Structure 1
Amino acid sequence: MATRRVPAGFRILIAVGLFILTFLLVRPSDPATHGQIAFWKKVAGFFGDRDVEGFVGLALLAICTMVTVIGYQVIVRLAEKKLNRTN
C-alpha cells in the first residue's frame, strides 16, 4: 500500500495561513500602549538597535518565520499520519 501525501496546494495554504495568523496574533496593537512601547525600546536597546520600528519589523519577520517552519512540519506530519491510518 502506497503512502498518501498532503497535496502541494494544501501545503502552501498551510504555510501561508500559519504565517498570516502568527503575524496577526504577534504584532503590536495600534495604537501601542505605553507598556508595549517601553518593552520594545528595552528589547531593541538590549540588541543595540536604536531604530525601534525597524527592530519590531525584523523581530516579527523572524518570529513568524520560525513559527511557520516548525508549525508547518507538525501540521503536515499529523495530516499525513491521519491520511495513512488504516482502519
Structure 2
Amino acid sequence: MANTPSAKKAARKIARRADINRTRRGRMRTFVRKVEEAIASGDAAAAAEALRAAQPEMMRAAQKGVVPKNTASRKVSRLAARVKALSA
C-alpha cells in the first residue's frame, strides 16, 4: 500500500486511468464485434457500415494509448479485407 502522499496520489491517478482505458478498450471491442457479426451474417452492406463506425473508434483507442498504433492498424486492415472479400 502507498505510504507517502505522492504515492497515494499516483495510485489514485493510475486507478482512474485504468477505468478510462478499460472503458475505451471495451468500446473498441464492441465495435469490432459488430463488424464480426455482420461479416458472419453475410450482410456486406451492414459489415461495411459497421467497419466505417469501428475504424475511428479503433484509431482513437490507439491514439489514446489503449492499444498500440500498429495493432489497431493491423486489425482495421484485416477487417477491411474481410469486408471487401464479402462484397466481392
Same-fold status (TM-score > 0.5): no
Tell me which protein shows more helix as a share of its residues.
Answer: 2
